[in-house]
Amino acid sequence: MAGRSQLPVQIMENQTRYDLNAAVENWRNELAAQPNLASDDRRELETHLRDAIAGFQQRGLNDEESFWLARRRIGQPQQLVPEFVKANTTKVQWQTKLLIALVITVVPIWFLGKAEFHQVFVNFGNIAYFNFSLSILMIAIVWLVFILAEVLKKMRTSPRFSVLSPFIQTRWRVLISAVVLTVFSYTQIFLLLCMKFVQWGIMVSILGLFALVVWLLLPLRIQTKLKEIVSSRFPKRA
Amino acid sequence: MYKAAMLTKDLVAASSKPLLLSILAGGESYGYEIIQKVRELSGGQIEWSDGMLYPVLHRLERDGLIESEWKEADTGRERKYYFISSDGRRALKTERRQWLAVHNSLCKLWKIKPVTI
């Protein structure tokens, strides 16, 4: 290393000129610019960078060399991020998705069978049939989500661009979406069967739709953060 | 993880699972420590790219073989520690049998004394 043979004054000058914290800060900003990387993953990579820098420093390298080597070992964010996304995404088999969509369809229709089924379509949009109409809409949405998700996958669209990804990104998300929609459909039908609760039914419908929209629009990063908060409240047993 | 100095890309990818599970079976650890350990164990023959270790760990975690937790180290720095689950221990047993089966077959072919399972 050329720096070693320099005069002590020059070495000191070099070291004071190199701001390690600023370098780490820059690196962190570069990583933060990657939209698909969860905050937990960023934090993990940053602790790794700091550990690696400390390791090189212990071996006698200066701040600049340590940072440079540590950054190189971790690799380019552009190459890393797709691997992180792949690792965090569960491949849900299309058969599983089809099964869930079928269950969500069959259960309310079986229930509807007890009422006059055709009446729902005849009176679609009628306030008295508001809940029934909404159930049918929900079923349609589930199928739309299912079909669109498959089409988008065929088109190899990046998960970032898919509005549907919050629904189907992990096995848990598919399950939660399915349970929410099924319970929602059940509630609608139950409330309609007890006609006096029509107002309640409308309220539940609006709340349900609101929750659905929130779930859809809530960015993955915020959801990961929420998960972190929950897991820090209830730490896993080692 | 796919940058190997001595091992081929395929072999590095295939061996990462038993290596990680075996290391974690010996006690909880974090990414940087795991990398150092692998480097040390293999005498530098298995060279993982640091950043690529994490997706592999996350995949094992997603499959329920390992779990993770943020914990403060003695130095006061927080690190994400990984530890093996009971499913992971079972998976490790299977991996061990399979790798030893390959190992023993090769040993017989090359007339080296095999290891007992």
Question: What confidence tens digit (pLDDT) does each residue in B12-27 have?
Answer: 888 999 999 999 999 9
pLDDT of B53 above 80: yes
Per-residue model confidence (pLDDT) at position A94: 59
| B52 touching chain A per CB within 8 A | yes
Q: How far is A232 from chain B (nearest CA, A)?
A: 8
Residues in CB range of A180: below 8 A, 6 or more apart: A208, A211, A212, A215
- For residue A86, list chain B residues with Cβ-Cβ distance below 8 A: 55
Among partner residues B50, B54, B83, which is closest to A238 by beta-carbon distance? B83
| Chain B residues within an 8 Å CB radius of A40 | 80
For the stretch A5-64, pLDDT in tens is 444 444 444 545 688 889 999 999 988 888 778 788 888 999 999 999 999 999 999 999
Chain B residues whose CB is inside 8 A of the A38 CB are none
Choose among A66, A47, A65: nearest CA to A55: A66
Average pLDDT, chain A: 68
**In sequence order, what are the residues at sequence separation of 6 or more whose Cβ sits closer than 8 angstroms to the Cβ of residue B71?**
B78, B79, B80, B81
Nearest by CB to B31, which of A40, A48, A75? A48
Ramachandran angles phi, psi of B102, nearest 5° = -65, -45
Which one has a higher pLDDT value, A6 or B36? B36
* Inter-chain residue contact B32 with A47, CB threshold 8 Å: yes
Give yes or no for B54 touching A (CB within 8 A). Answer: yes
Is 0.80 surpassed by the pTM of this model? Answer: no
Q: Which residue has the higher pLDDT, A85 or B106?
A: B106
Is B69 touching A (CB cutoff 8 A)?
yes
Q: Could you give the CA distance from residue B80 to residue B73 in angstroms, rounded to a whole number? A: 10
Q: Is A80's CB within 8 Å of B51's CB?
A: yes
